Every structure is written in C-alpha cells, then in structure tokens.
Structure 1
Amino acid sequence: MPKKKLIQEVEARWNGTFQMLERVAELREPVGAALAGLKTDITALTSEDFSIVCECLAVLSPFFEATIELSEEKKVSGSKVVPLLKMIEKTIQEETAKVAVPVAQELGEHLIRLLREKLYKVQSMSILSLATLLDPRFKALGFFCPMKKEEAIKRLTAECSHIIGSTSRSLPPVASTSQDSGAERPGQYFWFDLHTTLEL
C-alpha cells in the first residue's frame, strides 16, 4: 500500500485547499492516532468535523474535476466556458440535494447562486455565446438560459445574413457555362452526405 502524506494548503490555488481536506479525510484514523499520542495544542477533529469535511468535498468536487480537465488540455476553446459552467452548476445542485450536513447544504446553495449569476453574465458575452453555438459538440444544448440561447441564435443569424449580403454585392455576376441548367454540380452528392451526417 503506497504511503500518503498530508498535503499543505497553497493559498494561490484553491485546489490546494480541496486536496488538503481530501487527504485529511483519507488519513482520518492515522491523523487522529498521531494527534492523540502527541503533546500538542492542536485540537483533534471530531466525528462531526469529518462529516462536514466529507460532505463539503462532495459539493466542491465538480470544481476540482473541471480544473483537472482544463489543465490537461493544451488548447482550451472559449466555446467550452458556458457548457462547463452549466455542468458544474448542475452537478453541484445534484450533490447538494444528497448532503445532510447544514454547512455543506449552505455551501452548495451559495455556490449555485454565484454560478447562476456568473452564467448569466458569461452567456451575455457575444464571443463566448457564439463560440458555444458554433461548436458542434455543444450547439444550442450548451446554454443554461433559454433566453440567452435564443439571443445567440438571432445574433448569429443576423451576422450571417450581413456577411452573405455583403459578399453577394461585392461579387460580379458569372455567366453560366453549363448547357443544361438542370445538371447537377460536381461534388453535390459529396456535400450532401456531409450535411446529412451533421444533421444526424
């Protein structure tokens, strides 16, 4: 069995606090035995304290998992910001419903309120909302607020219409060289297969 040591909290990184508490919970018995055998002013953690730590860890775990996921990516796309916050909020809500300790419940409810405020502001940023909408992994499903989703769709539609209109006015008319106006264009079936795949 590998030896484990307590982890020192690092103030500059909130994950340091999470990992410190997680390791204390893992080493509950050895830590309790060590404190009991030492002459020290440090108050040993009670059973109630450990229950609070464990349930708070459950509430905070979505943040830790999201941080690990982002740190492992070489290039993080802006389109992932809104869906990631949405999933963190959803998971914290589920974990908060499971905990029984009042401190953990209050922590979860407070985090949910803060995340919803943050999500509302982030979804109002065009660069992030449009990036989410255009990402095939998320599209409209990545949004937390239906109203913000509709605003992003309208904004994207307006920008596309503007670009198409500007392009159409700037291009000179091209005479058709085809003898049969009803003939299929080269590659038409190729793109049809691609479009069908995307729609599925």
Structure 2
Amino acid sequence: MKTEERHFADTCAEHFMHVAGEWDIEGKVSTLTTDSARNMIAASKQLPFEHMPCAAHLLQRAITVSLQHSPFDSALAKCRKVVGHFKHSAPNAAELEKMQDARKKPKEALTQDVSTRWNSTLEMIRSILRNQEPLSDALALHPTKVTMPTAAELDKLQKLETVLEPCRYVTELLGGENFVSCSAVLPALSHLSRVMEVSEDDPAYMAKFKETFTADLEQRKEKTNLPWLKVATALDPRFKDLKCLSKPERAEVWRSITDLLKEERPAQPEQPTVSVPPKKRLALMFESSSDEEDYLERCLERYRAEPTIDMEDCPQQWWADHEGAHSMMAGLARKYLATPATSPAAQPHDQYARRFGAACKMKGTASRIIQTRSGSRKDHDDKRSRCDMEDDSSASSPEASSSSRHTWRSAGEAKASAVTIFVHFPDRTWIIPSCLCASLLSGPGRRLSGTSHRLS
C-alpha cells in the first residue's frame, strides 16, 4: 500500500481499516496475514482481526540465519562471482553458450541470487552444478581472477542443494494462490524438522547448518498464531489425524473445536414462557446442556471417522461434497481454511488480467472482490471455478483491456506491500492483498470482479 506517511504501526493500522471501510467489509474480515516486520506486528495488535505471520517470511529468515557465517560462505561467494562474470558481459555469455553447445548441454543463463529470496540461492547453486564443465571451459579461454569452486566446495554445494530442496517444496506449497495453504503450515514445518534431523553420516558443517536451522525455525514457529493453525489443520481432511502434533496437543485441539462450535451454533428461538417449578427448571437446564455437548461430540466423531484424503485433493471441495453430513462444522471449516499462509505482493498475471478485463464490462459492485487461494492445485489448471461469471472471449474488447492494464499498473506500483486481507462470506471466501485493494478503489478497478469457489 503506497502512503505518503512513514509506515509506523498506527499509520498501517489506520490504512488497513480505511480499506476495510471503503469496501464495507469491517465485519467480514477474519484474518490479517503480514510479514514479521515489527510495524506490521504492532499494527495487527491494534486491529480486530486475527493476525497470521507469513510462513514464507518465516522460512526466509530461518534459512538466511543458517547460511550466515556458515562453512558455505566461500563456495557461495565464488558462485556469485562466476555468475556475475557471465551475466554482466555479453561476450562472456556468448562464450558460455558455445561451451554449453559443445558439451551438449541446454543453453541457459546462470541464476544470480538475491538476498531477500533464499530460493534464488538454490537456483544459483543448481545452475552452477548443471554447468560445471561448460563454465570451466569458458573460464579457461581467457586469463581471469574468477575461479570455479573447488571439488570439495562443489560437494558442499551438492549437499546444501539436497537439504534446501524440501524447503523449496514447502515454500511453493504454502505460497500458492489457488489452493488451501494455511492448514498445511504445521504439517509442512513438521516435515522440515524431520528432514533437518542430524544423521551420523552428516559432516560437521552440515550438522551445524541443520541444528541452526531447526532451532531458529522452532523459535519462529512459536511466534505464529498456533491456536488458529492447529484448528485449521484439524479441519483439513488431508491432515485431520494431526500427526504433526503430540497426543496431548491433539486432544486440546478437538476441545477447542468443540468450544468454537458452541460459539458458532445459532441461538435457539425463544419458547413461550411457561411456569416451571424451580427444581424441574434446574434439571431441564442441565439436561439441555448435556444434550448439546453430546450432539457436538457426535458431530466431531462423525468427521474424525471420515478417511483422510489425498494430498493433491481439494479440502474446500471435500467440504462442499460433505456439507450435508457435517453441516455444523462446514461453516467453521470455510472460515479457517480460507486463511492464507503467506502474504504475497500483488503481481501481474495473464490469466487474472484477462478475467479482470472481462469483469470490467460487468455492472459489478465493491462487494465483488478479487479472490485467490481457493481450489486445489490439481484441478486449478483443468477446470474453471463454478462461480466464474465472465466469458474469457469478452476480454478482447478495447475497453476491458484498457481497464485491466490500468489496474495492474497501479497494483504493480504498490507491489511492495506484504499484507493480505481475507473476506469470509456465507457461501464463498475472497482474499485481497490490501495494496491491490487500495489501487482498485481509485479508478476502473473498482468494478472488477474476481472468481470464487462456492462451498455449498
């Protein structure tokens, strides 16, 4: 969100509420997902929303801390110099392509790492390892101070690549825009903890990296919204066995869900006043309370008895198909599963730009909000949302294209924001990066309509 004031906590909180007020969603927002910057954390404490620290930022910091002053420093420094040698000189890049061709390797440019994106370091390592021979051949053509990592350093990089690969998978799992992510945070972090366990075969430098990573990750995990994440995990039919938690924690989670169901259950209509003796009134009160608890327990038991679903299946679709059998829990599941695990900035995307362009022609209202993070990873590419309201063919109109370009240009200017607001409606959920919200409020984008997945 672009502002003229400095991003103090009070200013951020004020702007968040301003956006919510402009869109008339103050009472519909449940969760605010931000990075772990101090001003964002302080701002979230001033707001009436649950705060969800960004899981991707958590991983970024844990990996960065583990790589600082590590035995990998020398090898990574050499990689950066090699990449810079070929990326910043067209003749050098041309020579590398010739050597790749001579070695029958695919022609590819090397990847430069960026300090704010740990996965760029992984891609840099991979590009160096894939092109060891062409790089050595190209560097040997002319005298240069740039040298390839030694065999021992390349071996270190290979081991580092192996342990960073699960982190890449988890980052993609938690950062996707088109499938449920919040409920996967705790299982994913538990998986990383197992992967990072020190084994007898690990050299000392690798053991140090794993220990540093595990300790830092555990420390940061404790600062997340654990109660919310635990409930979300239990309400996801992929992870409802709660293997990522200890047995005492599992029991506590199910008790929490029972309490939440009591709060969510609609109030019973008032009955006509009838004179009842005091003793009988007391007996009826306890009987009513006991019946309600038994009913909620049966609801939970029916859900827990359901088989878990495949990792690639869509939890929201499962709830849509089983809402009749679990009507008491479906609303709670919609609310918790819609929370995003990460806070990505708004960035242009051809598919969404095309749909937004078509939606600009519709007589929409501000209650139709851009939606992401629903559906499954498996079915996103091969079927449209059941709530799509626009025809892609209409996106070719000049008016629609112009509006779409205008909106995305505004969103791109504000892409530094790391905040996501999610809006929960009775039959659907929308998630809005607040920077995109702000840009949509000032022009043609105000009429944009997104797509959503109904749960009923």
The two structures have a TM-score, normalised by structure 1, of 0.72
Match of 1:115 among 196, 214, 217: 217
> Deviation per CA, 1:75-128, whole angstroms, max 9, x where unpaired?
4432121112112222333xx537543322211221122223334444x63222
Q: Is the 8 A contact 2:230 2:253 kept in 1?
A: yes
Structure-2 separation of matches of 1:56 and 1:197: 39
2:126 is the counterpart of 1:22: yes
Structure-1 separation of matches of 2:123 and 2:161: 9
Q: Which amino acid aligns with 1:91?
A: V
Structure-1 separation of matches of 2:178 and 2:191: 21
The correspondence of residues 66-145 of structure 1 with structure 2, limited to 5 A, is 66-93=170-197, 96-97=198-199, 100-122=202-224, 125-145=226-246
Structure number with the higher helix fraction is: 1
The Cα RMSD (Å) is 2.9
Structure-2 separation of matches of 1:45 and 1:100: 21
2:141 is the counterpart of 1:40: no
Deviation of 1:48 after TM superposition, in Å, equals: 0.5
2:172 is the counterpart of 1:65: no
Determine the structure 2 residue equivalent to 1:50.
Answer: 154
Structure-2 separation of matches of 1:100 and 1:162: 50
> Deviation per CA, 1:110-165, whole angstroms, max 9, x where unpaired?
1122223334444x63222111111111114253344433322221222334555x
Q: RCO higher in 1 or 2 (8 Å CA, sep ≥ 6)?
A: 2
Determine the structure 2 residue equivalent to 1:158.
Answer: 259
What is the identity percentage for the equivalent residue pairs of Structure 1 and Structure 2? 27
> Deviation per CA, 1:24-57, whole angstroms, max 9, x where unpaired?
1111222223233331112331111001100011
Give unmatched runs, 5+ long, in structure 2: 1-104, 273-301, 308-456
Structure number with the higher strand fraction is: 2
Q: Is the 8 A contact 1:143 1:149 kept in 2?
A: no
Give unmatched runs, 5+ long, in structure 1: 174-194
Deviation of 1:197 after TM superposition, in Å, equals: 10
Q: Is the 8 A contact 2:174 2:185 kept in 1?
A: no
> Deviation per CA, 1:181-200, whole angstroms, max 9, x where unpaired?
xxxxxxxxxxxxxx599534
Q: Is the 8 A contact 2:174 2:181 kept in 1?
A: no
Structure 2 residue matching 1:136: 3-state secondary structure: coil
Residues 99-108 or 59-68, more deviating:
99-108
Q: Is the 8 A contact 1:6 1:20 kept in 2?
A: yes
Determine the structure 1 residue equivalent to 2:77.
Answer: none
The two structures have a TM-score, normalised by structure 2, of 0.34
